[in-house]
Amino acid sequence: MSAARVGVVTFPGTLDDQDAARAVRHAGGEAVPLWHADPDLKGVDAVFLPGGFSYGDYLRCGAISRFAPLMEELIPAARAGLPVLGTCNGFQILCEAHLLPGALMRNASLHYICRDQGVVVENTATPWTADFTEGQRIVLPIKHGEGRYVADEATLAALEANGQVVFRYVGNPNGSLNDIAGIRNEAGNIVGLMPHPEHAVEDLTGAPSTDGRGFFTSILKKLVNA
């Protein structure tokens, strides 16, 4: 059996692509590099949009990346059910591309913030969170200047009603509405969150937990069983 193939997208200014690929490999998957300018998903089974400052975060985070040639392939594939995970800048891109509702704005403190953050897993009915339990409290690094999740009231109500809030902060670091740290689309295949699971997969390096592993084991199990 060949390993499940997870595409990791690099835009100009993407920073966490190497970490994302490493996390995929640690979980036993094959990380397939995808280049923003190539409109080719290379037949991957899932896609990871990593963090960074694509296009320097100029204009708005994710605003320019959304138009990349690769996105023209990715957007319809995601709408058709391809599992997609966006973390940090990846989450911002997913919102700008309207694959997820709402928007991410400047932190309420107006400062960039890097810290280890408690997060509660609210929804496990996604290919990226199946290995967690509902209500499980995990710790992941956050590192962002624009992570304040906003949406209009109707959208928020719908997210809550449909169980689309996937992660909530314990102690809101950025002023996100309803303490939202991550959400999914209605179908559940697309998940975006501000925290960084790819930085929390090894004991040795930096982060205080290995709680991020759950994302990668979830998706790989799902793909292997599919």
Residues acting as catalytic residues: 88, 196, 198
Q: Single out the residue of 48, 41, 42 nearest to residue 25, CA to CA.
A: 48
Q: Which residues bind other proteins (CB under 8 A)?
A: 12-13, 15-16, 18-19, 22, 52-53, 55-60, 63-64, 67, 95-96, 101-103, 105-108, 110-115, 141, 143, 145, 148, 150-152, 175, 196, 198-199, 202, 204-207
Contact 81, 162 (CB under 8 A): no
Burial of residue 154, with CB atoms counted within 10 A of its CB: 0-12 exposed, 13-18 middle, 19 or more buried = exposed
Q: What whole-number distance in Å separates Cα of residue 101 and Cα of residue 146?
A: 16
* Polymer length in residues for the chain: 226
Contact 49, 87 (CB under 8 A): yes
The DSSP code sequence of 89-133 is HHHHHHHHTTSSSSEEE--TTSS-EEEEEEEEE----STTTTTS-
Tokens of 183: 């959400």
Q: What whole-number distance in Å separates Cα of residue 10 and Cα of residue 161?
A: 34
Q: What whole-number distance in Å separates Cα of residue 163 and Cα of residue 143?
A: 26
Q: Are strands 46-49 and 148-150 parallel, antiparallel or unpaired?
A: unpaired
